[in-house]
Amino acid sequence: MRNTTTPDLSGRTMIVTGANAGIGKETAVGLARMGATVVMTARNPAKGAEALEEVRRRTGSRTVELGLLDLASLASVREFAQRFLSEHDRLDVLVNNAGLITDSRTETADGFEQMFGVNHLGHFLLTELLRDRLVASAPSRVVVVSSIAHRAAIGGLRFDDLQSERSFRSSLVYGRSKLANLLFTLELAEQLAPEGVTVNAVHPGSINSHFGGGGDTKVLGRLISKVGRYVLRSPEVGARASILLASSNLPKVTDSTGAYFPKGHRRPASRRARDVDAARRLWAMSERLVGSASSTCQDDGQVL
């Protein structure tokens, strides 16, 4: 018998990006245990399949699926959206979890700086392509995994150099990508409020996971491998904020939109993250960068 204090998510469909490891995988576990149909995404088929089997084994759920999604490729984002829309008639929760940090400046398949491209633009396009399905499934939710690192975005976003072509410092560029997550949350929440879709962001805390340890940031990866288990939170603990915002029926969640929840507690984000004009400017520039999502998604759920 299901614990009556635990939300029953049976019949609800949810996407968790970057669910092959770390916080994303633990988020998938938590939501699957509550009965949700969970579509886990991964860019690596082998790692994704391994994670899928683990989540199914730990939860006993057979309503967990794997979708291949590389947020560093807009073509992959469109392909994933097309598959999802053709296979699922509802989307109750979208958890934009995946992210990365790199030591040096690299580019996505579309020529964007990697952290800005993956952490922000890939999720921006994905959300826009799935927007109509979220609205049709309302009340529904978007959960954006940001970071306290957004406060390190000294000077805010560099709108004249969003791709960090003139200068690159890893921690600063990462912080700006996390600031972009919060500005995206702010503007999307404003747009979707009349449609019954809430949009909130989380900071999961400092987590002992594979993040930064997969070759993208060698120094950070070595540090985490040596001291992470002593000073950082586990992925299971880190996932609690995402699971809370995706599942809870508490008023602090259901009545919130455009809010920031560090470690599951609603708190003000930085002043720059609450800049409405910057949020609208970023939205307009993101639309231009990825192309018009509305022109690629048709009523029959097909992406052209």
According to DSSP, the β-strands at 260-262 and 197-203 are parallel
- pLDDT in the model for residue 206: 58
Domain range list for the chain = 13-295
Q: What does pTM read for this prediction?
A: 0.88
**Going along the chain, which residue ranges are E strands?**
13-16, 37-42, 64-68, 93-96, 140-145, 197-203, 260-262
Mean pLDDT on 172-182? 97
**114 membership: H or E segment, kind and range:** helix 114-115
pLDDT above 90 covers a percentage of the chain that reads 81
pLDDT higher at 295 or 95: 95
Q: Please state, in angstroms and rounded to a whole number, the distance separating the CA atoms of residues 114 and 271.
A: 25
Active-site residue, from 84, 116, 174, 261: 174
Q: Which CA distances in Å does 288 have to 83, 125, 148, 276?
A: 24, 11, 28, 19
pLDDT at 5: 74
Q: In the predicted model, is pLDDT for residue 302 greater than 90?
A: no
* CATH code that applies to domain 13-295: 3.40.50.720
Least confident of 39-43, 115-119, 295-299: 295-299
Q: Which amino acid is at 137?
A: S
| CA trace torsion 285, 288, 291, 292 (10° rounding) | 80
What is the pLDDT, as a whole number, of residue 218?
53
Task: Locate all alpha helices (DSSP H) within 248-298, ordered by sequence.
Answer: 251-254, 276-290
Per-residue pLDDT tens for 131-176? 999 999 999 999 999 999 999 898 999 999 999 999 999 999 999 9
Q: Which two tokens stand for residue 43?
A: 């860019």
Any catalytic annotation for residue 174? yes
